[in-house]
């Protein structure tokens, strides 16, 4: 009886080991989204359009191999060194994706990535304070000053050159009775392909005076 029980236990143990081995090494497939990274962009060009931000790949491999496939550790690089202005079409090459041993790419989407590049431009434009509201009764705004008064912008040449000024975020002067200053951001959200060259803070000083003094200055 003891021999029979021992044989059963041994058989179960062997079966369990074989099951674990089979399920641990059987290939499985899953999808992973990995970021697309553009490198080597020429200094005189900027990217204005790209057909995809991430690349979806289907990866086949063992469970152990796929445990090491993570979007945080993977990326698909596209080298734009030597690129010219215009539309560039890149065919995705799965062999460029660094995967653990025992894993391989079975499909990718998209298969082609389009990138549009345009000539870079730069320009110094005036900063305009965007004010809303009115000071308290009996007070008026005597002057508005932005420091620095101008800012250098860079980006797609056609977009940069058409700008003559850039507004600040909205500053509410409703009910104010005294001069004040505020650090503000610039409203560049609507300009997809234009950026500030530096991140130096912008300060707006608003001089608020009683109306009698404002009239006297006139």
Residue 200: predicted pLDDT: 87
Is residue 4 in some structural domain?
no
Buried b / exposed e along 152-176 (16+ C-beta atoms within 10 A): ebbbbbebbeeeeebebeebebeeb
| pLDDT over 70 at 91, yes or no | yes
Pair (101, 129) in one structural domain: no
Are 143 and 83 within one domain? Answer: no
DSSP SS3 for 21: helix
Q: What is the pTM of this model?
A: 0.68
Query: Is the same domain home to 208 and 176?
Result: yes
If you average pLDDT over every residue of the chain, what do you get?
Answer: 84
Taking only the tens place, the pLDDT of each residue in 109-127 is 999 999 999 999 999 999 9
Domain end (from 110, 131, 148): 110
pLDDT at 12 over 60: no
In a domain, 1, yes or no: no
**Least confident piece of the model among 5-19, 41-55, 83-97, 161-175:** 5-19
Q: Which two tokens stand for residue 122?
A: 């730069």
Residue 55: burial class (beta carbons within 10 Å; 0-12, 13-18, 19+): buried
CATH number of the domain enclosing 148? 2.170.120.40
pLDDT at 150 (0 to 100): 95
Residue range 43-66, pLDDT digits in tens: 999 999 999 999 998 877 777 666
* Distance (Å, whole) CA 85 – CA 90: 15
Query: Using omega within 30 degrees of 0 as the cis cutoff, is the peptide bond preceding 158 cis?
Result: no
Query: What is the per-residue pLDDT for 3?
Result: 45
The answer to whether residues 135 and 99 belong to one domain is no
**Number of compact structural domains in the chain:** 2
Residue 98 above 60 pLDDT?
yes
Per-residue pLDDT, averaged over 61-82, amounts to: 78
Does residue 1 surpass a pLDDT of 70? no
Q: Which of 110, 144, 159 is the last residue of a domain?
A: 110
Q: Please give the Cα distance from 201 to 60 (Å, whole number).
A: 50
In angstroms, rounded to a whole number, what is the distance separating the alpha carbons of residues 103 and 98?
10
Residue 92 sits in which domain range? 26-110
Q: How confident is the model at residue 5 (pLDDT cuts 50, 70, 90)?
A: very low
What is the pairing mode between strands 150-156 and 112-132? antiparallel
Let me know whether 205 and 127 are in one domain: yes
pLDDT digits (tens, 9 = 90+) for 187-211: 887 677 899 998 889 999 999 999 8
């Amino acid at each position: 009886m003891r021999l029979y029980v021992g044989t059963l236990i041994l058989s179960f143990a062997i079966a369990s080991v074989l099951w674990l081995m089979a399920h641990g090494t059987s290939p499985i497939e899953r999808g992973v989204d990995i970021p697309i990274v553009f490198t080597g962009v020429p200094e005189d060009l900027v990217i204005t359009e790209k057909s995809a931000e991430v690349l979806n790949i289907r990866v086949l491999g063992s469970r152990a191999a796929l445990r090491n496939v993570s979007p945080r550790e993977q990326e698909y690089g596209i080298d734009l060194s030597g690129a010219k202005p215009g539309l560039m079409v890149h065919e995705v090459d799965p062999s460029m994706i660094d995967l653990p041993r025992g894993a391989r790419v079975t499909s990718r989407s998209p298969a082609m990535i389009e990138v549009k590049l345009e000539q870079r431009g730069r320009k110094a434009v005036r900063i305009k304070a965007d004010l809303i509201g009115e000071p308290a009764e009996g007070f008026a705004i005597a002057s508005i000053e932005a420091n620095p008064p101008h800012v250098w912008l860079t980006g797609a040449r056609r977009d940069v050159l058409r700008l003559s000024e850039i507004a600040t975020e909205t500053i509410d002067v409703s009910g104010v009775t005294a001069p004040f200053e505020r650090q503000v951001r610039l409203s560049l959200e609507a300009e997809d392909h234009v950026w500030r060259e530096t991140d130096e803070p912008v300060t707006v000083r608003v001089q608020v005076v009683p109306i009698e003094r404002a009239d006297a200055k006139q």
